[in-house]
Structure 1
Amino acid sequence: MNRIDLALFVYGTLRDREILEGVLDHIVPQGDLFEARARGWRTVYYPDRFYPALIRADQWAHGFVIVGLDGRDMKRLDDFEGDEYRRGAITVEARGGTLGAQSYFPSKPVPREAPPWSFETWTELHRPQTIARYRSDDFCQTHGNGRDQ
C-alpha cells in the first residue's frame, strides 16, 4: 500500500516502540519518528484507565510525530485505539517548525482536574502489564498483531 501524506502525533503508550511497531506489524524507520510537542494541551489519565487522554490546557503535551504511514497502518492504529478515542487534527511543533498532524482524542469527557499522566511513570509502573496484555492471545486475535500471520 502507498505511503500517505499524514503526520500522526502520539503522546501516550504508542510512544513505546515495541507497542507501536507491534500494532503496525512493521518497524518504523528512525527518520519517520521524531520528537514533537503540542501547545494548548495536557496529557492526563483517561478516567479509570492507566493510559492517557489529551485535553485542552495552557500547557505543552510532549510526544512523537510519525510520518510515512499508509492506510493499512491507520486502520490498525484506529482499531488499537478503539471506541475510547477519535482521530482529529492538531498542530504540533517539531524539527524547528509548526506542523499539522492528526492525533487521538478521548471520545468521552475527561475532567479538567484529571491527574497528569507521564510516559516515564507509565513505563515504570504499567509498561510490563501492558506488554503482557499486548502479547496475550486475546489481544492478538482482537487486533491481529501478525503473530499468527
Structure 2
Amino acid sequence: MQHIFTYGSLMFDPVWSRVVTHTYTSSRARLPGYQRCCVINETYPIAIPACDAYIDGILYWNVNAQDVTRLDTFEGDYYHRIPVNIELANGAVAAWVYALNPVYQHVVDYRPWDVEQFSQTGMTQFLQRYQGFLT
C-alpha cells in the first residue's frame, strides 16, 4: 500500500474514480519544493522542482498495488512516480507523486495551472479525451 499525492486532474473524483478500482481515504495536503505548471496544449498540469514553492493537493492513503499500476499507466511517459515528503495539517508523511519526467521538459508551459478553471471547464474536455480508463 502506498500513499499517492495528487495535484491535478486526479484531485477530482470524476477523474480519480475512472482510474482506480477501489475507494480510498483522502486528505488535503501540500507538496513543498515543487510548482504546478500547465502542459503545452493540454488541460492537465505537471509538477516541476522549484525552491520556495509548494503545491496544494490531495493525498490518497494506502492505495493498493493494482491501482498504483493503473495510475502509472494513466500518467504515461510525461511523468515518473517519485518519493516525496508531504505536509499535512498535523505533520508530514512519506508518499509518491507523479512529477515531470525530465526528458519531457519541452512540454512544460511555465504558466501556473488554474485549479478552478479545470474544475469549471477543463475537466469536461479532459474526461471526453480520457474515457479509456473506465475499465
The two structures share one fold, judged by TM-score above 0.5: yes
Say whether residues 1:37 and 2:37 are aligned partners.
Answer: no
Task: Report what 2:67 is aligned to.
Answer: 73
Identical pairs, percent: 27
- In the alignment, is the contact (CA less than 8 A) between 1:46 and 1:110 conserved in 2? no
Aligned partner of 1:7 among 3, 8, 15? 3
Q: Greater strand share, 1 or 2?
A: 2
Aligned partner of 2:99 among 90, 101, 105? 105
Task: Report what 2:44 is aligned to.
Answer: 51
Task: Report what 1:133 is aligned to.
Answer: 129
TM-score by length of 2: 0.88
What is the Cα deviation at residue 110 of structure 1?
5.5
Which amino acid in the other structure matches residue 47 of structure 1?
I
Distance verdict in 2 for CA 1:12–1:110, change over 3 Å: farther
Offset from partner CA, 1:36-60 (integer Å, 9 cap, x none): 0011211110233221011122222
Say whether residues 1:82 and 2:64 are aligned partners.
Answer: no
- In the alignment, is the contact (CA less than 8 A) between 1:11 and 1:61 conserved in 2? yes
Classify the secondary structure of the residue corresponding to 2:49.
Answer: strand
What is the Cα deviation at residue 113 of structure 1?
7.0
- In the alignment, is the contact (CA less than 8 A) between 2:43 and 2:126 conserved in 1? no
Mean CA deviation greater in 125-134 or 103-112: 103-112
RMSD between aligned alpha carbons? 1.9
Classify the secondary structure of the residue corresponding to 1:49.
Answer: coil
What is the Cα deviation at residue 111 of structure 1?
8.0
**Structure 1 outlier segments of 4+, above 4 Å:** 110-113
Say whether residues 1:118 and 2:124 are aligned partners.
Answer: no
Unaligned runs of 5+ in 1: none
What is the Cα deviation at residue 127 of structure 1?
1.0
- In the alignment, is the contact (CA less than 8 A) between 1:55 and 1:110 conserved in 2? no
Query: In 2, distance between residues paired with 1:112 and 1:127?
Result: 19
Mean CA deviation greater in 8-17 or 86-95: 86-95
